[in-house]
Amino acid sequence: MNPRINIFWFRRDLRLEDNAGLYHALRGGLPVVPIFIFDRDILDRLENKQDRRVVFIAEALERLQGQLAVAGSSLEVFYDFPLEVFRGLLAKYRVGKVYCNGDYEPYARERDATIDRLLRESGSSLSAFKDQVIFEKNEVLNEDGRAYTVFTPYRKKWKSLLHASHLQAYPTEKYFSNFYKQASADIPTLFSLGFVPVKELFPSPTISRKLLARYGEERDFPAMAGTSRLGVHLRFGTISIRWLAGEALASSETFLNELIWRDFYQCILWHFPEVGRGRAFKKKYDLIPWRNNESEFERWCTGNTGYPMVDAGMRELRSTGYMHNRVRMITASFLTKHLLIDWRWGEAWFAEQLLDFDLAANNGGWQWAAGSGCDAAPYFRVFNPRLQAEKFDPQSAYIRRWVPEFEEADYLKPMVAHEEARKRAVETYRKALSG
């Protein structure tokens, strides 16, 4: 007879320690089979077969497999469509429950609902737990019981609700003996997934109190090592948000506020899922007549705009899969305001390039820059790339690293004059929004 087990489904929580859903699975009364699915609905759409994110996931799975081998168990890894994977698992095992951690993106919600229906037809179910955020869904609401759409009151309410229990780690280690015992299985190679391995030195999953103590003063200067670089680890759950929020609470209110922004954008995506499907949060902004010049977009993508700060950011992104947050705002403002190119084009480019791509944060940032999002910058706010460089890269150290030719005579002339572009953008927005 097929063994009776529970399943834990790893998704964006690739760690054994302090993992909410895994903790509940291991205490669920049946041996736990851990699984991971390389989802073909996602991977088959990735055109770049040297995608750093796939490499990061593969390395994280190898670490997990090594830890599980010590516990006498094994991760079962699949490359398939989730529905087909679970049909196979239901045939292989008598499945009690499937445990996972919540994912608030529209595709994930639809996928999970489909899997839950399949499981219920077989007498099982899907149980999801909060793990990637401190507060989720309806946990932080205004006095009218509605979702906040402005960050500052959300932040104040978030902090007023925070209790030590929200940061308490889940002691999964106590229950490792409850993993299903089986020999270690092979993990699909990157080649078998259709991807090419690349050598990549990923950021460390640690942060120093010293960096946190200086974070408020140094985070806006891209030439400094003043940011955590932990975005990819938060995106794929190789570190715990509870641990990181605890570190921030002890050392840096500014850094804690950045983590609250993450929760805020996840809640916006949950309550207004249409923003994750390409709609402006402020619907009138869908009426803006974008210029959408493809050759200008290409110059922006490749870092050849003639504005050194913009070019530095775009070249850093293509080269490393990372861009400093201040520079993300500058490059996004340039695309949407100076070039009047649809923010969705930029959002899609960042989604393809960023190692730490997260739909909620990426969408929130782009709509903020375009003026179309919740609590966004007003449409008439247009970053001046030259002034931003003077303020945040005064010695041109960041620019010099990525655009070494910027002081030479043959460096590109600016593709558009700032003052002319600003006036054009403000007038275009004003006409569209007043109609």
**203: which residues sit within 8 A by CB, 6+ positions away?**
229, 230, 232, 233
Average of pLDDT values for 204-221?
96
Say which CATH topology domain 4-130 has: Rossmann fold (3.40.50)
Contact 392, 328 (CB under 8 A): no
Is pLDDT at 309 greater than 80 in this prediction? yes
Q: What is the pLDDT of residue 148?
A: 97
Alpha-carbon gap, residue 313 to 307, rounded angstroms: 10
Q: What is the pLDDT of residue 198?
A: 85
Q: 21: pLDDT confidence band, cut at 50, 70 and 90?
A: very high
Alpha-carbon gap, residue 128 to 228, rounded angstroms: 29
Contact 374, 149 (CB under 8 A): yes
Q: What is the pLDDT of residue 201?
A: 84
Say which CATH topology domain 132-167+205-271 has: 1.25.40
Q: What is the pLDDT of residue 319?
A: 95
390-406 pLDDT tens trace:
999 999 999 999 999 99
Alpha-carbon gap, residue 335 to 301, rounded angstroms: 10
Average of pLDDT values for 137-141?
98
The b-or-e profile of 94-117 (16+ CB within 10 A means b, else e) is ebbbbbbbbbbbbebbebbeebbe
Q: Nearest Cα to 112, choosing from 122, 124, 100?
A: 100
The CATH number of the domain covering residues in 276-434: 1.10.579.10
Q: For the chain, first and last CA: distance in Å?
A: 69
Enumerate the active-site residues.
258, 261, 290, 325, 343, 366
What does pTM read for this prediction? Answer: 0.95
**34: which residues sit within 8 A by CB, 6+ positions away?**
7, 8, 10, 22, 64, 68, 73, 74, 75, 76, 179
Q: What is the pLDDT of residue 206?
A: 96
Question: Strand order of the sheet with strand 4-10?
Answer: 76-80, 32-39, 4-10, 94-101, 126-129
Is pLDDT at 376 greater than 90 in this prediction? no
Residue type, 431: K
292-305 pLDDT tens trace:
999 999 999 999 99
Is pLDDT at 435 greater than 90 in this prediction? no
The helix (H) or strand (E) run that includes residue 381 is none
**50: which residues sit within 8 A by CB, 6+ positions away?**
195, 196, 198
The domain locations on the chain are 4-130, 132-167+205-271, 276-434
